[in-house]
Amino acid sequence: MKQYISQIQSWLKTKTGKELIFDTYQGQLDIAYLKYEGNIDMKNDEDLVRMYQKLNPTNYLGKSLIFVIDQKLATDTGCGWSQVGSGWSLALPNWPGCMDEDEPGIAEFLGLNSIAHVIVHEIFHSYGVKHACDSTTTNDLMHGEPECAAAGIVKDYAEKTTFDKSGPNYWGGNKAGVDLKTLRIWSDGSGTTEFAIPANLQIVPLVTTPTTVAPTNQTINCTKGKVSKLISAKNPKCPKGFKIKI
């Protein structure tokens, strides 16, 4: 993970002059490990968010989560996915065709190896960036399917990975959904807009302290012939021989 994040930061620095904020602990990347029984797909991926939020009921707020899955079972969902603007995303480097960091020169040529590419691509989706399709930039970081294929724009793997070269789609403009430059996600403190996960996409509701209402006394009228008694208590009952008067 350190290798991938370091590669992402270096690449972004050359493209934007900025680096993303990643949680750290004692100067090292703060990585949580979750054990999930089963295989992850788009039908149960929210389970991961629930697991993390259950373990971190307060400090997950305001964070974007990226889950890197050690799973070899593939589906037709590619090497990663994210619901746009959800604040969380997944990368699956072990799926067939997704891991190429050992291929000589791949990162040096493209700028990012495929795992680092998927991680930052999905992180930006989680912040609200949609796929950016442009025939003049066929290997943009945010090029993706099915939108670009539907537009007749085929990804060119012989081209270096570009960053909103034909923009402004997501840097200095928001044609692809959001202007990343304006978000407060950069380590230099720039950006004016705090990223907030929409309420309808919060997987686990905020933890609130339930309000306790103290029980109050109730009064009933108990009668026996012409005799009448008012009984007040939290759970009032008539004395033996008396009946409650409705």
Q: What does the pLDDT look like over 149-203, one tens digit per residue?
A: 898 988 887 888 999 987 799 999 999 999 999 999 999 999 999 887 766 666 6
Q: Answer yes or no: do 5 and 116 share one domain.
A: yes
- Compute CA 137 distance to the chain's CA centroid, rounded to the nearest angstrom: 28
* % of the chain with per-residue pLDDT over 70: 85
Return the minimum-mean-pLDDT range out of 125-129, 135-139, 199-203, 210-214.
210-214
Q: Answer yes or no: do 66 and 98 share one domain.
A: yes
Q: Answer yes or no: do 28 and 79 share one domain.
A: yes
Q: Answer yes or no: do 111 and 226 share one domain.
A: no
Separation of first and last alpha carbons in the chain: 72
CA distance 236 to 217: 8
Strand residue runs (E) in 8-68: 24-25, 28-29, 65-68
pLDDT the model gives residue 219? 73
Q: Using the structure block, give the residue that is written with the tokens 């339930």.
A: 210
What is residue 61's three-state secondary structure?
coil
Q: Answer yes or no: do 191 and 237 share one domain.
A: no
User: Mean pLDDT over residues 104-114, rounded?
Assistant: 76
For the entire predicted model, the pTM comes to 0.78
Which pairs count as long-range contacts for 215-221, CB under 8 Å and 24+ apart, including other chains?
220/244, 220/245, 221/245
169 in any annotated domain: no
How many separate domains does the chain show?
Answer: 2
pLDDT the model gives residue 163? 94
Q: Answer yes or no: do 226 and 206 share one domain.
A: no
144 in any annotated domain: no
Q: Answer yes or no: do 186 and 246 share one domain.
A: no
Q: Answer yes or no: do 58 and 118 share one domain.
A: yes
pLDDT the model gives residue 79? 85
Confidence category of residue 127, pLDDT binned at 50, 70, 90: very high
Q: Are 51 and 93 in contact (CB under 8 A)?
A: no
The residue that leads in pLDDT, 72 or 42, is 42
What is residue 147's three-state secondary structure?
helix
Q: Answer yes or no: do 196 and 100 share one domain.
A: yes
| Full domain range(s) for residue 227 | 213-246
The residue that leads in pLDDT, 75 or 3, is 3
The residue that leads in pLDDT, 36 or 77, is 36
